Amino acid sequence: MKVAVLALAAIAVTGGMGRSSSSGGDAPSASPPALTINNSASKQDRLTKVWTLTCPDRGTLPQASRACTRLDVLKEPFAPVPRNASCTLVYGGPEVAEVRGRFRGRQVHARFSRTDGCEIARWNRVRFLFPDT
């Protein structure tokens, strides 16, 4: 499987890798989205590629304008799976992704994986941010 690192960034943001946390409710945006997205084939893989995106349509991410449009229509693209959710025990693969930055005027730090049915569905909602997976 091809290992890729995606970075959607106008700013560098630092932080740890928790299961998932996020912001990104319906707050009005004070500035365009500026996100960093790291994607790899597994937790152990080194990050090797960097993509950038500043909405509405700048950056090195393929189809930047389309990615911005798709992010804009999602209500809470970085929301974690609710703690009380019942998820199928389906394993979708070792891929992991982390999103950090600002979205809709709020700080975002979300971790994506494909460890069960809920996480796979969450991953698939924003899969367009991971073009090499």
Range of 43's domain? 34-129
Is 20 a member of any domain?
no
Split into its structural domains, the chain has a count of 1
Is 1 a member of any domain?
no
d(CA 130, CA 116): 18
Is 3 a member of any domain?
no
- Please, are residues 100 and 15 in contact by the beta-carbon 8 Å criterion? yes
Is 109 a member of any domain?
yes
d(CA 104, CA 56): 13
d(CA 87, CA 68): 29
Tens of pLDDT, residue by residue over 73-121, are: 999 999 999 999 999 999 999 988 888 788 888 898 999 999 999 999 9
Degrees, nearest 5: CA angle 1-111-71: 90
Is 29 a member of any domain?
no
Tokens of 122: 């969450």
Tens of pLDDT, residue by residue over 20-48, are: 344 444 444 456 777 777 677 766 666 65
Q: What is the CATH number of the domain that holds 70?
A: 3.30.350
Task: Using the structure block, give the residue that is written with the tokens 């389906």.
Answer: 90
Is 23 a member of any domain?
no
